[in-house]
Amino acid sequence: MANQQHSLRIPGELEQIRIACDFVSEVAREIGLGEDGIFHCQLSVEEICTNIIEHGYGYNGADKSIEIVCEKQGNHLLISILDDAPPFNPLHLEDPDPGMSLWEREGGGWGVFFVKQYMSSVRYELVTGRNCLILAKSIH
Amino acid sequence: MVDIQVSGHDQITLIQVHGRIDSMTANQLGEALTREIDGGNIHVVLDLSSVDYMSSAGLREIVTALKKAKRAAGDVRLAQPSDRVREVLEMAGLDTIFRIFSSQSDAMGSF
């Protein structure tokens, strides 16, 4: 299935994220990622979709969508996540500090941080007015 | 997709979670923790041995619960996180914030 694209579109609602996670897991497994890699992809997709629904769509995304496109490119699985929220590059956010004390923790920012840790690379593009985050995961 | 069982043992509340703690289920865990701590059960053991997946939504809930418990002079202690959950806890630096035990009985006995 080299270079074959698989895509899925879900409504922008939290309840739909599991479908996106299952979809990405299935593609990742099919192209040969191990269980750890599959977990990393699944968690990353959940974190990004959750951010889009929470911050991009303001929990009001039932009539909006998130599109996920998976593609094998060389030795990587590329997962592109596209949304129609106002342009925003989450990679510009400052990483939270794991050394923070309990009382300094306000709860935010960990999702994108985990994605950066788990993926081989992450980049942001604005594609015909849509936010597009492209996650690359090494297959071996 | 997540099952949460709460039981009382003397002064300690044991919360056992089975399944995934993600952005769809984390609020259930948060509600269970809040209910107990706000109800005065401030010594909590959270058994994570049957949780194979926890995202940042779950971390947010347990951090909120820990703050709440500490403010009331209590604590939330973690028992038996799986390797995957432990990895997520470590990445967020929470392995130094929470007391983590390798068995439920050790966690229960630590209070």
**Least confident segment among A107-111, B41-45, B55-59:** A107-111
| pTM of this structure | 0.94
**Ramachandran quadrant class, B47 (left: phi over 0; alpha: psi -120 to 50; beta: rest):** beta
pLDDT given for residue B8 in this prediction? 94
Residue B53 in this model has a pLDDT that exceeds 60: yes
Q: How many domains does one find in chain A?
A: 1
Contact call for B63 and A102, based on CB within 8 A: yes
Residue A4: the pLDDT is: 83
Residue B12, pLDDT above cutoff 90: yes
CATH number for region B2-109: 3.30.750.24
Q: What is the extent of the structural domain holding A77? A: 5-138
**A98 and B92 in contact by Cβ < 8 A?**
yes
Beta-carbon contacts below 8 Å between A and B: 59
Q: What residue segments make up the domains of chain B, in order of their start? A: 2-109
At A98 the pLDDT is 96
Residue A93 phi, psi dihedral angles, 5° rounding: -65, 145
Residue B28 has pLDDT above 50, yes or no: yes
Q: Walk along chain A (140 residues) in steps of 10 and give the mean pLDDT of each run.
A: 83 96 97 96 98 95 96 96 97 94 89 97 97 96
Q: Identify the pLDDT of residue A1.
A: 47
| Cβ distance of A107 and B64 shorter than 8 Å | yes
CA dihedral of A126, A55, B91, B102, whole degrees rounded to 10: -140
ipTM over 0.85: yes
**CATH number of the CATH domain containing A46:** 3.30.565.10
Q: Which residue has the tokens 């996920």?
A: A68
> What is the distance between the alpha carbons of residues A37 and A135, in angstroms, rounded to a whole number?
13
Supply the mean pLDDT for chain B.
97
